Amino acid sequence: MQGYRDSLSGWPMATKKKLSRTRNIGVVAHIDAGKTTVTERILFYTGILYKMGEVHDGEAAMDWMPQEQERGITISSAVTACTWENHDIQIIDTPGHVDFTMEVERCLRVLDGTLVVFCAVGGVEPQSETVWHQADKYGVPKIAFINKMDRVGADYFGTVKMMGERFNSIPLPIQIPLGEEDQFRGIIDLIRQKAVTWDDSTLGSSYSVSDIPSDVLSQVKEHREKLIESLAEMDDHIAENYLEGTVVSEKEMIRAIRQATISLKAVPVMCGSALRNKGIQPILDSIVNFLPSPDDIPPVRGFNPVTKKKEVRHSREDEPLAALAFKIRQDEGRKLTYLRVYSGLIKVGDAVYNASIGKREKIARLLKMHANKRERIERCGAGDIVAVLGLKDTTTGNTICDESHPILLEPIEFYKPVISQAIEAKTPADQEKLTVALAKLIEEDPTIEVKYNDETAQTVISGMGELHLEIVIDRLKRDFSAHVNVGKPRVVYRETIQKKVEIEGVFEKELGEKKHFGHVRLLLEPRGRGEGNEIVIQTADAAIPEEFHTSIHEGIEEATLSGVIKGYPIVDIRVTVTGGSFKEGESTTLGYKIAASSAVRNGCLQADPILLEPIMMVDVIVPGEFMGEVIGDINARGGEIQAITPKGTISEIRGKVPLREMFGYSTDLRSATQGRATFSMRFFEYGKS
């Protein structure tokens, strides 16, 4: 298939090195912006799919789970690969729903670049901001595609403006739309000053490149001038040409845009309509030309678990092996481990070393994935994203490396759940299945937490939101045949203290003919919201020998796991060990551990303990005529309006609302707005209950 750039001159030739011709990218967006549709079109035009599946029909190749097909949303990230212009592109399609943000986080941790899809009508929506900032956190370069240009209310330049206002990077429109809404028929390439239109009869496979229509020439000239001005501020060579009045060549512009993209200074912006098959081929060319190869990104950093010294691994096959397990999936009863290989080689049958758990494991099979379909391969190397069979003890965030050159890469941090639900097995046979199923689901998704309540004989599962728990329960029944009764969702609270307290803890008891003694003095202080717990040991060794410090630390940590009001974890406190005493022959690790633990509990009782509840940031997109009802409803739920942003005929209302007031909000919002409003909700902070 002839690429879009083949019809135009000025493109740099691809090098023959495999790594420089590799792109590892993610497709991220707010829910319903169209990222899975974009991915389907990419796979169709690169020849991977012979038929385009539609998300709304439940036929998208990347949405292979039954739960995804029924709901028309992406729940689990899916890996695939394709080829464009002699470049290998490995793609991860990620969820857009806020309950599955962790899926996006762990994928961005291992990707080199990302395509951010925006809706031309909704503009920069709440989850778009979240995924953008996640990409910034890991230093991932971005290109942007403003989708749905054929929809009523589409506003390309309005969306670009919002990007400039909300993000640190400078948006660089390298295209402008040729028509909008029902008049949208193609794009104008500002770099090459050409119009590109697509042939509907060939499902967008054919397109024509022509001169710019005369009625938009002045507009094109204005926007191209702005593009060159922006590049001149970031690139000295372009600035020199611009100031001298020299024509900036296409090749120079492409080089400067690539440099600005990789250095995170700018984001190239394109537009189109994925559902109408317009604008996809230029996305592929931008992936190849502007996003980095594994060669272009800094070497991955970690530390040697033996020497504790910092080490780096360059993206080369002749370096020692370093790979990160970023996702686990159960596939027909077998465990698939997804790896990003940063350096070195892996072959089928190799023994590899899991530096995170200090254990050797064997590679039984290597698989190249296309959503849920597999292709067996014999080897993989630096820059590859593969699935592996055989890593029985490896979990998400573990480092796989060469045992003779061990390295520990930075692990993946996981969010804490904010909502829980009680479940119980319907029969004893279901109980056995439930235990096994939950263990497998936790391995797949570390944001799920499970606790067993002895008093009620119920299992309590916790997750990131109502939909998250709904999917977990559905999978228990459908994938593992574990039938359960389900209780109502409930909020996961936290506890903290409000004032400073000094407290002593003494433990002195004879257990099993041995005396155990421990004595500590502690200072308990409240910390700011979200600052976490801190344990400081300031006592001199003469008071308490250093060998007992670890036990004291453990006793304090254990005490904070269960609070004094309702047994919820204690957060945002500082515990300082200021003193204590030691008895020769009687002081023991057990004694100090129990003394420290009881001191924390007693101290919390005296320090004005309070319950903290999850406060959610709620974003509602609502037509103007229903704005009053939505604002009134948020206020009635004890919410606090943060901002109201008009976007043409619709408005975005952003507010903070306690999670306990948000159960069933989806139904209430639909009723109040005739089904025309949408909302998203994410955890913001723990606040006073």
List 686's β-bridge partners, or say none: 614
Q: Which residue has the higher pLDDT, 193 or 247?
A: 193
Helical ranges in 80-153 per DSSP H: 101-108, 126-137
Q: Is the pLDDT of residue 559 over 80?
A: yes
pLDDT at 341: 94
What backbone phi and psi angles, to 5 degrees, belong to 580?
155, -165
pLDDT at 72: 66
Q: Is the pLDDT of residue 448 over 60?
A: yes
Secondary structure of 467-512 in the HEC alphabet? HHHHHHHHHHHHHHCCCEEEEEEEECCEEECCCCEEEEEEEEEEEC
Q: Is the pLDDT of residue 442 over 70?
A: yes
Q: Which CA distances in Å does 588 have to 508, 545, 546?
A: 10, 11, 12
Distance CA 514, CA 511 (A): 5
DSSP designation for 419 = E
How confident is the model over 237-255, as pLDDT tens digits?
888 887 887 888 889 999 9
- Torsion over CA: 196, 201, 202, 204 (sign): positive
List 198's β-bridge partners, or say none: 207
pLDDT band at 13 (very low <50, low <70, confident <90, very high): very low
Distance CA 342, CA 324 (A): 8
pLDDT at 96: 67
How confident is the model over 99-126, as pLDDT tens digits?
677 788 888 889 999 999 999 988 888 7
How confident is the model over 620-633, as pLDDT tens digits?
888 888 889 999 99
Q: Which residue has the higher pLDDT, 10 or 650?
A: 650
How confident is the model over 299-318, as pLDDT tens digits?
999 999 989 899 999 999 88
pLDDT at 10: 34
Q: What mean pLDDT do residues 492-512 have?
A: 91
Q: Kind and range of the H or E element at 233?
A: helix 217-234
pLDDT band at 68 (very low <50, low <70, confident <90, very high): low
CA-wise closest residue to 156 among 195, 199, 193, 122:
122
Average pLDDT, the chain: 86
Distance CA 588, CA 552 (A): 11
Distance CA 541, CA 560 (A): 25
Provide the CB-side half-sphere exposure for 133 (13 A, CA). 8
Mapping DSSP to helix (H, G, I), strand (E, B) and coil, where does residue 540 land?
coil
pLDDT at 50: 62
Q: Which CA distances in Å does 457 have to 297, 426, 454, 489, 502?
A: 51, 12, 5, 17, 38
pLDDT at 549: 92
pLDDT band at 634 (very low <50, low <70, confident <90, very high): very high
**573-581 and 534-537 strand pairing:** parallel
Report whether 507 contacts 518 (CB < 8 A): yes
Tokens matching residue 601: 């509990």
How many CB atoms sit inside 10 A of residue 219's CB?
Answer: 12
Q: Is the pLDDT of residue 369 over 70?
A: yes
Tokens matching residue 385: 């994203």
Contacts of 688 (CB under 8 A, 6+ apart): 610, 611, 612, 613
Give the lowest-confidence range in 69-78, 232-241, 597-606: 69-78
Report whether 390 contacts 397 (CB < 8 A): no
pLDDT at 11: 32
pLDDT at 15: 31
Report whether 135 contacts 116 (CB < 8 A): yes
Tokens matching residue 113: 């670049």
pLDDT band at 646 (very low <50, low <70, confident <90, very high): confident
Give the lowest-confidence range in 48-52, 426-430, 462-466: 48-52
Q: Which residue has the higher pLDDT, 96 or 259?
A: 259
Cα 578–chain centre separation: 41
Q: Give me the DSSP letters along 256-313.
A: HHHHHHHTTSEEEEEE-BTTTTBSHHHHHHHHHHHSPPTTTSPPEEEE-TTT--EEEE
What backbone phi and psi angles, to 5 degrees, belong to 209?
-110, 120
Report whether 325 contacts 410 (CB < 8 A): no
pLDDT band at 60 (very low <50, low <70, confident <90, very high): low
pLDDT at 64: 55
Distance CA 652, CA 646 (A): 6
What backbone phi and psi angles, to 5 degrees, belong to 371?
55, -115
pLDDT at 9: 33
CA-wise closest residue to 354 among 400, 293, 405, 406:
400
Helical ranges in 340-411 per DSSP H: none
How confident is the model over 277-292, as pLDDT tens digits?
999 999 999 999 999 9
Q: Is the pLDDT of residue 520 over 90?
A: yes
Please give the order of strands across the beta sheet that includes 573-581.
501-511, 514-526, 573-581, 534-537
pLDDT at 656: 94
Distance CA 40, CA 48 (A): 9
Tokens matching residue 475: 């999978």
